[in-house]
Structure 1
């Protein structure tokens, strides 16, 4: 009887240990879930870095538009087709030319 109670206590300790290991590796907040979250954090940080660089570019563009007329004129020329008086508009075609006889 003495050995049986020791065996049962040992078996119970093993079961508890296995349960704790399962929780550590496979549980809701376990090791694998932690690694997935780390991967998601790295991906989000990469996306944030891209957004930061785009925001910095937009911020400099807004600064140029607020503080200088050159940027306004450049946007008007590119987007609206601004041609000032006494300027000549020249359009260069990039299409390939074919000659026929």
Structure 2
């Protein structure tokens, strides 16, 4: 009789552990989903870091010299110096 109770108790514990493994908060499908979401977020962070680095470089150029200002005025605003002809070739 006591062997049956012990066996049933062990089976219940095993079932509880398996239920946590497959359906609980730290279940295998949940962990796989979180790893996938983490990889997506890391890819987004890398892209955002590239954009931030480009903007930081542009800000540094604007603070240090006027070459970037002249380049922006030419490319974005179409400005030219006096007695200068601006030619833009687009592929």
Relative contact order: is structure 1 or structure 2 higher (C-alpha 8 Å, sep ≥ 6)? Answer: 2
Corresponding residue for residue 54 of structure 1: 51
When residues 7 and 76 of structure 1 are mapped into structure 2, their CA distance, relative to the original with a 3 A threshold, is same
> Computing the radius of gyration over CA atoms, which structure comes out larger, 1 or 2?
1
Task: Give the unaligned 5+ runs of structure 1.
Answer: 95-101
Q: CA deviation at 1:39?
A: 1.5
Alignment deviations for residues 47-74 of structure 1 (CA, whole Å, 9 cap, x no partner): 1011111110111011111111110000
C-alpha displacement at 1:17, in angstroms?
A: 1.0
Aligned residues: 91
**TM-score between both structures, scaled by the size of structure 1:** 0.78
For residue 8 of structure 1, report the CA deviation from its aligned partner. Answer: 2.8
- Structure 2: state its 5+ residue gaps: none
